Amino acid sequence: MDLLLEPFTVTFVGRAAVAGMLVAVTCACAGTWVVLRGTAFLGDAMAHGMLPGVAVAALVGAPLHLGAAAAAATMALGVTGLRRHPRLGGDTAVGLLLVGMLALGVIVVSASPSFAVDLTAYLFGDVLGVRPGELVLLAVVAAVTIAVTAVGHRAFLLAAVDERIARTTGLHPRAAQAALLGLLTAAIVASFSVVGTLLVLGMLVAPPAAAVLWTSRVVTAMTLAAALGCAAVVIGLLVSWHASTAAGATVAATAVALFAVSLLASLVRDRRAATTAAPSSIEGTVPA
């Protein structure tokens, strides 16, 4: 029992656990819609597209979260604008903005030889270095994300199913899309300091992907995704502590591992259901 509890008695590990669980809740709310809408590439592009904002913030001494939020918002506005062009597909718009933002970020980074340490933290996160002030920020982001998700649930659901239905019911699909992009932006900006941009997609996609294998209800999927994300944080930090591995990477890898376990379990469930249904269908047939 001491092996399980001892790491969390250390102040910075306990703080990392709280930060990770707040990130898990935020990512569950936004990530469930990402999985249901099949827009994981957009999430990945927005995570990597924050580089120029973080780089500029680091060079001028501004808060990294502020630069990340500005860059992510620019990506979101750019994607929204380009997607309205009749000859450009969604993936084309996302890909172009991703390349442009990454190139701009590399140019900014190359202007400062001392940027390597900050870049490492940006890419891989520093969950064990979370400060009390960042916990407050993560808590506020999580609370706002939950509130927006609750208030906009019906609009988000109808916009995801069919925009025409949403319009006929008096809703505004474009406003719903903008709000969803806002949720995604908040989740990514809040998460990058914990697990880094290279690993944020794991927390954003893996728990919701594991959850939707077991339920068709969005709210239930979000709740299950939050639970799986919190489990990934606790297990990942335990493994990292005892195995001396990178904490953020271990948390993200644990999230993906939980998805793999969930996928295997769902395949076993489906096979058993098919096996059970087969004799029933045979017994229920009437001989000619």
**Per-residue pLDDT tens for 246-269?**
888 899 899 999 999 999 999 999
pLDDT at position 237 over 90: yes
Question: pLDDT band for position 221 (50/70/90)?
Answer: very high
Question: Minimal CA–CA distance to 53: which of 91, 102, 96?
Answer: 102
Question: pLDDT band for position 54 (50/70/90)?
Answer: confident
pLDDT tens digits, residue range 170-195? Answer: 666 677 777 888 888 888 887 777 77
pLDDT of residue 248: 85
User: Around Cβ 280, how many Cβ atoms within 10 Å?
Assistant: 8
pLDDT at position 167 over 70: no
Question: pLDDT band for position 154 (50/70/90)?
Answer: confident
Q: Compare 167 and 243 and report the one with higher pLDDT.
A: 243
Question: Minimal CA–CA distance to 202: which of 255, 260, 257, 240?
Answer: 255
User: Which domains does the chain show, CATH number per domain?
Assistant: 6-273 (1.10.3470.10)
Q: Compare 214 and 189 and report the one with higher pLDDT.
A: 214
pLDDT of residue 255: 93
pLDDT at position 22 over 80: yes
Question: Minimal CA–CA distance to 205: which of 43, 79, 17?
Answer: 43
pLDDT at position 124 over 50: yes
